[in-house]
A and B are shown apart, each in its own frame.
Chain A
Amino acid sequence: MDFASFGFIFRFLPIFMILYFVAPEKVKNLVLFLGSLVFYAWGDKTRLTMLFAAIIFDYVLALFMGICKKRWVRFIFFMAGVTLNLSFIALSHQSSWVVPAGTLIYCMQSISYLSECYRGTVQPQKDFIKLGVYISMFPQMNLGPVVGYRDMEEQLSHRKVDVEKVKSGLIRFIVGLAKKVILANSICVFWNTVSAANPEDLSTLTAWIGFASFGFKIYFDFSGYSDMATGLAQIMGFSLKENFNYPFTATSVKDFWSRWQISLSVWFKDYVYIPLGGSRYGILRKWFNMLLTWLLVGAWYGIAYHFYAWGLWFFFWMVLESSFLGKLLEKLPEHVTRIYTWLVIIVSLSFFAADSISQSMDYIMVLFGMKGVGLVDRMALFSLKSQIILIAVAIVSAMPWVHNAAQRLRNSEGGLGMAITRVSEKLFPALLLILTLAYMVKGY
């Protein structure tokens, strides 16, 4: 079920919240678990079986790992669990190269849990419901964030709910919903036109505007769903780590990946890169580990060659930055390094958005004026004029300027600043919600 749907907002969520808050404390996890299963089953009941099987297998395998002292036996149980979860991913992607995000999320959380149990950093969870809540918690099932078991273990037993948390969670949800419904959906209109055309029918400027729009679209999509997930979890008393930290302010590719889908980067670092040996065994081994990790990151977004190429693209720049480029970038002015990062990101989108490697190459050639219908055409000029305000709104929303200004106002001691803060804190979420609902009705 999509968070940005009437069914979720006006049916599932209120009914679930009533049950969750009316339920006694001891039963809240059970309500959340059952609610998550209903949420997951809403769209596709067949995948529910896989989710349930994953929870049961993880539960049993982890208990076995807890009992066994011998490391190699624990390793066999661990690998059995990993293989099982990967097979769920493989089964889910039979019909298309994109695996449903929900399947990826719960499989990654399962692997996180099994890894921690195997390493002995956590005790196997004896309460099946708590494990079920961790693996299947519905707020994360749209597009994450992926939460490590260590970060959730304590919260599964003890979490604090208060009015302030509920209020801020609700506002966070509304902001996320607005990012998705208003910004992502509006800005992708132009991208839809560009992506429907053959690359050779595009002008260079159209391609740049198109890919910039696509970049904003996926940012507002991913960060919007993360905000919604964080907000919903907050309402229920959970505290999830931030998944985005203004990635368009990044001054290097490395910096970008420390700000974009942070939970994903952390997961791949903790459960792929470091177990492979990280940077401990010399430079060549480090690069090999990076290569494998980036190929897997590409596969996370889609099992197709152009996604692997997308991973390779980032691997290439990460290697350059770790070799010499990083030091060079440190000496350059911030706006230059920011432009460099944007260029790398925008070109990377030609791999991400394409249907094949050859189409990616066509897009890149158009971006650099080597193919297409020239540098500028009517479509580019028209889009630039008609999209300019939307792009400006998107840029302002993607940068920390508004947040910083609000912070300054909040901290100001003057009466006016305080008054503006008070009024806007009440009015802004309400207006944003009305506007979001209007856009949802329009798109319905």
Chain B
Amino acid sequence: MKIRTILELLDAKVLCGEDKLDGAVHSACGCDMMCDVLAFVKEQAVLVTGLCNPQVVRTAVMMDMRCIVFVRGKMPPADVIALADDAGLVVLATNERMYTACGKLYANGLAGGEVINE
């Protein structure tokens, strides 16, 4: 799914990475616990979260994710957006709640990921 499609489906705003909206993501992870995200394996994924601290960006970087969507109208601080911009991530913000945002993406064909087995 193109990131531009996520933007449209969630009626979101672009906070950074506007030049990368035609990039594709292959899976999604909706989560506020970053250590759960780190157990999630797919690269080229989108992280859907309501948490707005720098660790969200670092977690996305560690997992080679392409895009972060902040839900529930959460607006990350400028330093968090700058960190994401430096890392080449696309950051979107939507007023949708986590459940609805994930449901819309799933219903439109964006799959969930896998958890690595020990």
Q: Decide if A and B are genuine partners.
A: no
Binding site for A on B (CB under 8 A): none
